[in-house]
Amino acid sequence: MKVTAAVVDELHEPFRIEELDLDEPGPGEALVKIVASGICHTDEITRHGDLPMPFPGVLGHEGAGEVVAVGDGVTRVRPGDHVVIGWPSCGACRNCRDGEPRYCARLGEALCGGGRLLGPRAGQTALRRPGGSPVHSHFFGQSSFSTYSLTWADALVVVPRDAPLDLLGPLACGISTGAGAVFNTLKPGPGSSLVVYGVGAVGLAAVMAARLSPATTIIAVDRHPARLTLAEEFGATHTVHVSEADPVAEVHRICGGPADYAMECTGVIPVVRQAADSVGMLGTCVLIGGAPAGAEFGLDHLSTLWGKRVVGTLGGSGRSETLIGTLVELHRQGRFPFDRLVRFYDLTDIDTALQDSRQGDVLKPVLRMSH
């Protein structure tokens, strides 16, 4: 079938809107008519080579839409279902079987192999140019900067029909990443203190999630005053503007000592150190932001020995189905207002969306597909 997609021809090249051919669903696969797809920082760093997605290819990994066809053997979803496209995983490795599919042993291949992970056509792309030359697909199992996406049916998360489908794509990655790091990784205890370094879309989702926890001190650190104001509205009890104060000293002052938890959402290496230095004995610093490929960071050895944990988290950990379902319901209840971060653009305006995002004018751009 014909689809309209934003294609990246080669590394660093801009997105170009093209008409492509997409395969029909085979065994285990589902065809999703994309309603809207969020843009995540990972799309941009992949276009510039930080993830090894082969090009030409179609990016986009925060897609939501309606199932329009399924292949043989698919029973979990059926045409007409409203879905968010979750992360793909093999389902067979130790981590998948232990309920941690975000850490699938085949994750690299699943997210950016450029083709199907599973099924009889494993390894093959689903997209071609009209002349027949292949275009890589299945970025995060979906390549959702397109009017339709061919996905592995088991990765789909069915959402209620009355939920606002055009908003929900970002729950597949960015928003879940921030919220899941609080709900699944940190699980802050009563009266605890938590500092979030970088309150873009991921960090603000973390602040919203922290407000739903028994943590009583929630500190937001950023260099954009507008973002700090938003963080306060979403539940931060304190804010620190990095150019006005040393954030590590400020965190210690506010908490009367080190914080219990720090979340590093920037991927900026000097900030990683600040986040780690913000927690003390038995504290936990969780690394969330993506730094450029090959980046390294340093820690103070002695203070890390004191029971400190520095851990990474991907996509909010846990299962897509549980996390996305929870966030959809919390949003419906008015307790997780992530819609306030979203601005909509047409697929054809992807460059404007990226530019607005880079300039910090918009926190979560979402591309709407016209059908």
Residue closer to Zn ion (CB basis): 36 or 40:
40
Residue closer to Zn ion (CB basis): 175 or 276:
175
Q: Which two tokens stand for residue 223?
A: 């260099």
Q: Which of residues 306-345 bind Zn ion (CB under 5 A)?
A: none
Residue closer to Zn ion (CB basis): 173 or 362:
173
Residue closer to Zn ion (CB basis): 92 or 226:
92
Give yes or no for a contact between 284 and 186, defined as CB atoms under 8 angstroms apart: yes
Span from 36-44, 178-186, 208-216, 344-352 in contact with Zn ion (CB under 5 A): 36-44
Span from 19-27, 170-178, 257-265, 340-348 in contact with Zn ion (CB under 5 A): 170-178
How many residues bind Zn ion (CB under 5 A)? The answer is 8
Q: Does 90 sit near Zn ion (CB under 5 A)?
A: yes
- In the list 45, 68, 93, 163, the residue contacting Zn ion (rule: CB under 5 A) is 93
Q: Does 89 sit near Zn ion (CB under 5 A)?
A: yes
Residue closer to Zn ion (CB basis): 151 or 192:
151
Span from 117-125, 169-177, 182-190, 259-267 in contact with Zn ion (CB under 5 A): 169-177
- In the list 42, 193, 237, 326, the residue contacting Zn ion (rule: CB under 5 A) is 42
Residue closer to Zn ion (CB basis): 95 or 229:
95
- In the list 104, 126, 157, 276, the residue contacting Zn ion (rule: CB under 5 A) is 104
Q: How far is the CB of 170 from Zn ion (least distance, A)?
A: 9
Q: Does 96 sit near Zn ion (CB under 5 A)?
A: yes
Q: Does 173 sit near Zn ion (CB under 5 A)?
A: yes
Q: How far is the CB of 230 from Zn ion (least distance, A)?
A: 20
Q: Which two tokens stand for residue 330?
A: 């919390």
Residue closer to Zn ion (CB basis): 93 or 299:
93
Residue closer to Zn ion (CB basis): 102 or 331:
102
HEC string for the chain: CEEEEEEECCCCCCEEEEEEEECCCCCCEEEEEEEEEECCHHHHHHHCCCCCCCCCEECCCCEEEEEEEECCCCCCCCCCCEEEECCCCCCCCHHHHCCCHHHCCCHHHHHHCCCCCCCCCCCCCCEECCCCCEEECCHHHCCCCECEEEEEHHHEEECCCCCCHHHHHHHHCHHHHHHHHHHHHHCCCCCCEEEEECCCHHHHHHHHHHHCCCCCEEEEEECCHHHHHHHHHHCCCEEEECCCCCHHHHHHHHHCCCEEEEEECCCCHHHHHHHHHCEEEEEEEEECCCCCCCCCCCCCHHHHHCCCEEEECCCCCCCHHHHHHHHHHHHHCCCCCHHHHEEEEEHHHHHHHHHHHHCCCCCEEEEECCC
Q: How far is the CB of 19 from Zn ion (least distance, A)?
A: 26
Contacting positions for Zn ion (CB under 5 A): 40, 42, 89-90, 93, 96, 104, 173
